[in-house]
Amino acid sequence: MVKRLLSANSSEILAMSATELKAAIQANEGRTILSENVVVHEPLAETITNAEVASAFGADLILLNHFDVQHPFVLGLNDGENSLANVHDDPETIHKLKHLIGRPVGINLEPIDEQAPMLSDKLAIDSGRQANAATVKKAAELGVDFICLTGNPGTGVDNAAIIATLREVRANFTGLIIAGKMHSAGVNEPIIDQQVLAALITAGADIILVPAVGTVPGFTAITLTAIVEQAHASGALVMSTIGTSQESASTSVIEQIALQNKICGVDIQHIGDAGAAGMAPVENILAMSKTIRGQRHTLKQMARSINR
C-alpha cells in the first residue's frame, strides 16, 4: 500500500512507480491539483520556473506545455535563461526540475490528424511536440513521469488520433498516461461521449481527461458524473480541466468550478496556463486548493520541505 499523495513526502512521491502514483492519487479522494505551465514564456517570477511557483502555491503535479522533446528546456531553470534569446537545450531539464520542486512532472504531446475537419485555422507545431513512438521514447529518456495526449487550440487533434496514438504510447512508455480533450482543439466533433471514453480506456489510458463543468458549453454535471462512474468502474481515473482561459477568471469562478467538479467525483483538477507568463494566477491555484481540500492540507502542501 502507498500513502495518499497528501500525506507523502517528496522523496516518497518521486520514488513511486506509475502504478503507485496512480494509487496515491486515487487515495487522495479528489484532492489532487495539476498545474499546467508553458515553458516558452518568460516566467512569472523572472529567474525561477513557473513550476516552482505553482508548486509553492499548492500544485501536486506539474504539466509542461509547449515542451519540445527534441529541444528540452524550461525557461527559468538554468541561470540567466529566462528568455528564448539565451536558452540552450539541456537533456537534464526534467531531472533538474523534479529535483527543485519535488513533484512529478509530465508533458503534453499532441496526436495530430492532418485530415481532421476544422472549425478554425489549423496551427502547425514542431515535431518534438507531436505524439508518436519517437517522441514518446525520447520523453521516457528525459525522465518524464506522465504523458498527456491532448490538443492545444487549433492544432487539429481529434479523438480518433488520440485513441490510435494512445496504443502506440502504451507500448513505448511505462509512466502514467492521461488522454482526452479539454476543448475542441479546433476540430468539429464531440469532445467526449461514451464510445470515446470506452475506447480511451481500452487503448490504455490511466487517466481520462475531460473539460471541467463550467468551461465548455453543454458539458453538464450529469454528463461528467456518468463519465466518472464509467471510468472508475473500469479502473481509470478522471481529470477535469480548465483549458478555456478561465484559469485567469476571478477566484470566485475557480471556487465554483472546483467545487462542482469535486461533487462529480473527479480525481484530479487541472488548472491551465492562460494567465500571465504561461501559468494560472497564483491566487487561483490557492483558491482551488483551499476549495477542494481546505486550509489544513493546503498549508501542508505549500510548506512541506522537498527535502523530506
**Element of type H or E holding 109:** strand 105-109
Confidence band for 156, pLDDT divided at 50, 70 and 90? low
Confidence band for 120, pLDDT divided at 50, 70 and 90? low
Domain assignment of residue 207, yes or no = yes
Domain that holds residue 265: 23-303
Work out how many domains the chain is built from and give that number: 1
Domain assignment of residue 90, yes or no = yes
Phi, psi of 146 (to 5 degrees): -150, 155
Domain assignment of residue 212, yes or no = yes
Domain assignment of residue 242, yes or no = yes
Position 286 scores a pLDDT of 98
Phi-psi region of 34 (alpha: psi -120 to 50; beta: other; left: phi over 0): beta
CA distance 157 to 154: 8
Lowest mean pLDDT among 78-87, 223-232, 277-286: 78-87
Domain assignment of residue 285, yes or no = yes
Q: Write down the number of H helices and E strands in the chain.
A: 10, 8
β-strand 207-211 against 237-242: which pairing, if any?
A: parallel
Cβ burial of 295 (10 Å; 0-12, 13-18, 19+) is exposed
CA distance 45 to 47: 6
- pLDDT above 50: residue 171: yes
**Mean of the per-residue pLDDT values for the chain?**
92
CA distance 251 to 162: 32
C-alpha cell at 221: 454535471
Domain assignment of residue 8, yes or no = no
CA distance 50 to 278: 8
Domain CATH number, residue 236: 3.20.20.70
Mean pLDDT for 98-105 is 98
pLDDT tens string 10-35: 999 999 999 999 999 999 999 999 99
C-alpha cell at 225: 458524473
Domain assignment of residue 43, yes or no = yes
Position 106 scores a pLDDT of 98
Confidence band for 199, pLDDT divided at 50, 70 and 90? very high
Please tell me which residue, 187 or 70, carries the higher pLDDT value.
70
Which pTM does this prediction carry?
0.94
Distances (CA, A) of 115 to 118, 185, 188, 277: 9, 14, 12, 32
Q: How many CB atoms lie within 10 A of CB 291?
A: 19
CB-side neighbour CA atoms (13 Å) of 248: 9
Task: Annotate 128-185 with DSSP letters as a single string.
Answer: GGB-SHHHHHHHHHHT-SEEEE---TTS-B-HHHHHHHHHHHHHH--SEEEEE-SS-T
C-alpha cell at 277: 507568463
| Percent of all residues in the chain with a pLDDT value above 90, rounded to a whole number | 80
Cross-strand partners of 208: 179, 238
- pLDDT above 60: residue 5: yes
Domain assignment of residue 65, yes or no = yes
